[in-house]
Amino acid sequence: MTEPLTHATAAEASVWAVNGPSRQDGRPAADRPAPVRRDPPPPLEANDRLVTAVITAGWAVAFVVLLSVRSDIPRGDRWWIWTAVAGFGMGLFGLLYVPYLQRSRARQAKRRSAQRS
């Protein structure tokens, strides 16, 4: 006959919270070796203008498609058209702003390196 299930005491619960659940061999899970930590990989460099242009083109395509099926879209869901317009507009802003931001950061880095020298 098996023992009836009971609630854990406060002491047992706190041990479980600190050590984690016990393994089948009776040792707490905290006795396991810690996983090996690796250095994170360097960030990937991308062509920011190309990425922004592709996403902006995607919003433009979505806008054209939504306009072509506008009569089939229920009145309550026509906000999607304005979402596509906003995405396209923000993409155009990004196409203009990203090069400015990159030039600004390059100038700032150049000034910092000149001050350190």
Say what the pLDDT of residue 60 is. 98
Total domains present in the chain: 1
Measure the CA–CA gap between 103 and 99, rounded to whole angstroms. Answer: 6
Residue 33 within any structural domain of the chain? no
Instruction: Output phi, psi for 107, to 5 deg.
Output: -60, -40
Name the pLDDT band for 22 (thresholds 50, 70, 90). Answer: low
Residue 88 within any structural domain of the chain? yes
The answer, as to whether pTM is greater than 0.85, is no
**Cβ contact 53:95 at 8 Å:** yes
Q: Residue range 8-36: average pLDDT?
A: 59
Residue 38 within any structural domain of the chain? no
Domain hosting residue 111, numbered range: 48-116
Closest to 93 measured CA to CA, from 53, 58, 66, 37: 53
Residue 86 within any structural domain of the chain? yes
Name the pLDDT band for 2 (thresholds 50, 70, 90). Answer: low
In the DSSP assignment, the letter for residue 29 is: G
Residue 91 within any structural domain of the chain? yes
Which residues have CB under 8 Å from 49's CB, separation 6+?
95, 98, 99
**Cβ contact 91:55 at 8 Å:** yes
Residue 96 within any structural domain of the chain? yes
Say what the pLDDT of residue 6 is. 54
pLDDT in tens, 33-91: 777 888 988 888 888 899 999 999 999 999 999 999 999 999 999 999 999 999 999 99
**Which amino acid type is present at position 34?**
A
Residue 64 within any structural domain of the chain? yes
Residue 35 within any structural domain of the chain? no
